[in-house]
Amino acid sequence: MKTRVEVMVALLVSAFILTLCAASAQAQAPPKSFDLIDWNGGKFVYGVDYYPEHWDEVQWERDAVMMQAAGINFVRLGEFAWVKMEPVEGKFDFAWLDRALKVLNVHGIKAVLGTPTASPPAWLYAKFPDIAAMDENGVRYRYGSRRNYCLHSPSFLAATRRVVSAMATHYRNHPGVIGWQIDNELGDPICYDPYCRAAFQKWCRAKYKTLEALNKAWGTIFWGHTYLAWTEIPLPWNTLGGAHNPSLALDHRRFHSDAMRDYLKLQAEILRKLSPGKAITHNDMGMYDGVDYSQLNAPLDFVAWDNYPMFGENYSDYAGTGLGHDLMRGSKNNQNFMVMEEQGGLPGWDIFWGRQAAPGLYRAWAYQAVAHGADGICYFRWRTSRYGTEQYWQGVLDQDSYPNARYQAVSQMGKELAQITGLLKGSKAVSPVALLVSPDSRWAFHIQPLVKDFDYNRQLRLYYSAFRRASVGVNVVFPQSDFTSYKVIVAPSLFVVDPALVAKLEDFVKKGGTLVLSYRSGVKDEHNVVTNQTLPGPLAEMAGIAIHDFDPQTNQEQELEDGEGERHPARIWFDILDLTTAGSIATYTKGYYAGKPGASFNQYGQGHVVYLGTELSKSESYSKLVGALAEAAGLTLGPSLPEGVELAAREKDGKRILFLLNYTDKPQTVSLGQALQNVLTGQSEPAEVSVPAFDVKVLVNP
């Protein structure tokens, strides 16, 4: 057991390391833009996640031959192989990985290496039990899973620096290694041990400077929770009643996200110093909201993420995956990205998750990523594992290596991408519409969920889906993003706002933009404290409304009636609007507030603000709202699309590359208004384009 002095020294060393790495990473910032195709020698990045350590070496050559035949030119390796690389503390063995790379490189296949810190070896836990994270009940996790480490453990940080430094040094000049993936899916767990408590207290002190400022910001006078020493500040661990000060809880979410970012920075600094010239990325998780990706991804050369459409219930409902792509792209200023883990088969751990997809869907889902700005696709995984937790998680191949229908679909796409790489290079997904994602609001709703059925991500998706059904692309922005290029910004349930964001939104609207707000907007300040202004607080003047009453959903029926007499079922929450300068666009039809406005439209400067005080139950209602927004903002809507069919576009030199994707099991027809050329077949397509089931057409002007 460590003494008190040893613990304090270790904490100081840990903090010093993190501070140095954060500062150095900022000094060596990555380039603002990154071309994935150039990075891969002029080839579209097309690959598989491969685990040669799981298979006899005689299998490696056969694998490489099959990969090359399928158009594979890229693999990710090593992200769970720490014990294979460092079987004994300080003794490294990369010979096996060198041999695997040699086989792959001979067949034209380059690699990104994963730093293996997501899965520390058993010997490390045995020597340093306190590298394991502690849950909110004060119990340390045990060895046997992955990513259950404490980010503030000095022993774990030292081990991280050692293994990453060894890898970076060994492969710094290897021509077949073109980049690094840091760790794997950073996010969980949240740790509640003494290291993390001391680090949180230090984080609070750096932010607030004085206890007086912290106590004021958090409103600690409530329940007499005023702190007289920094060491008194707790973590939001288990308490009687289970509720913590929302201000403390939001700052702790920020602290946890910052800790993930700082850990990524620590590794990025080592890699940039010891392995210069090789690109650095990380595999994010799309709509996962445990971290702020716009901050986490800042030190990276490009964004990558793990895309599993089969986690949805309806395989033809493409909007959730599309939003994931666009959020990932938006997390780094709409720079093109790659998918580091693309669905390659049916997922599962102890059970299979979902039903099997038609083989063509794996190709369609990969093309969807391309349509949304991906310049790299890497399928998870090459072959289904025979061992461990993921025996039920299918790869492109099953355990017998038979070239099945999934392999044939991957091979078809590999040939097609080689054919159209020149067309794709330099093209980007662009849009006049942006969806504003607020990490602070997301976290605040986790802390206080509002009502039972509220879901912030569903709010995002409802608006996103309506624009996508109208064939309008959507970019994702964050509070610090540049808003100037957009005509419409949709900011659903913008619960937590600070003065800087309010000023940016006001400027956007005054200069001609259209802003869409929805219920529970402007309620909290940046400290998660409820405003003392009439709702929607600092957004009220812009919206032209005042909210003096609201009705939380308690399973009652409610609806809005618009100006054309059409009724729209509503749910979850009902803001009752009093109009100041806005006009009503829909009124409630039931309850004591029947006839009162539930949605409004206000002119503010040269622009407009729409406020929707409820959540609508039908997708058609949001489609009608998008039509009205398009008219107000001067947007051109695309063609009407059948359900389960997506039209997406990339642009290059003012010209559009259209992707028409059919996720359904039946042929579908879309009217595009003109004949176009199918670049996959070289043939002309009529204005009425027919797309076979589970198929894709890539179209350009002839």
| 246: phi then psi, degrees, rounded to nearest 5 | -60, -30
Which residue in 104, 101, 107, 198 sits closest to 151, CA to CA? 198
Which residue in 271, 308, 252, 267 sits closest to 118, CA to CA? 267
Contact 258, 293 (CB under 8 A): no
Contact 336, 684 (CB under 8 A): no
d(C-alpha 228, C-alpha 215), whole Å:
9
**Any residues with CB less than 8 A from the CB of 331 and at least 6 apart, and which?**
284, 293, 294, 296, 297, 303, 476, 478
79 is annotated as an active-site residue? no
Write down the H helix ranges in 151-193: 154-171
Q: Cis omega before residue 189 (within 30°)?
A: yes
Which own/partner pairs from 91-94 qualify as long-range (CB within 8 Å, at least 24 positions apart)?
92/163, 92/166, 92/170, 94/166, 94/167, 94/170, 94/171
- Helices then strands, each counted (H, E), the chain: 19, 28
Q: Which of 185, 416, 559, 615 is catalytic?
A: 185
d(C-alpha 190, C-alpha 664), whole Å:
40
d(C-alpha 470, C-alpha 622), whole Å:
11
* CA distances, 42 to each of 36, 72, 104, 147, 190 (Å): 8, 14, 18, 35, 41
d(C-alpha 155, C-alpha 137), whole Å:
22
Q: How many CA atoms does the CB half-sphere of 274 hold within 13 Å?
A: 18
**Encoded tokens for 667:** 């042929």
d(C-alpha 312, C-alpha 336), whole Å:
24
- Could you give the 3-state DSSP secondary structure of residue 319? helix
Strand-pair category, 488-491 with 514-518 = parallel
Distance of CA 142 to the CA centre of its chain: 29
Contact 532, 523 (CB under 8 A): no
185 is annotated as an active-site residue? yes
Write down the H helix ranges in 179-318: 194-208, 211-218, 246-274, 293-296
**Encoded tokens for 214:** 């912290």
Q: How many CA atoms does the CB half-sphere of 59 hold within 13 Å?
A: 12
Q: Which of 79, 86, 269, 341 is catalytic?
A: 341
Longest dimension (CA), the chain: 78
Contact 433, 467 (CB under 8 A): yes
Enumerate the active-site residues: 185, 341
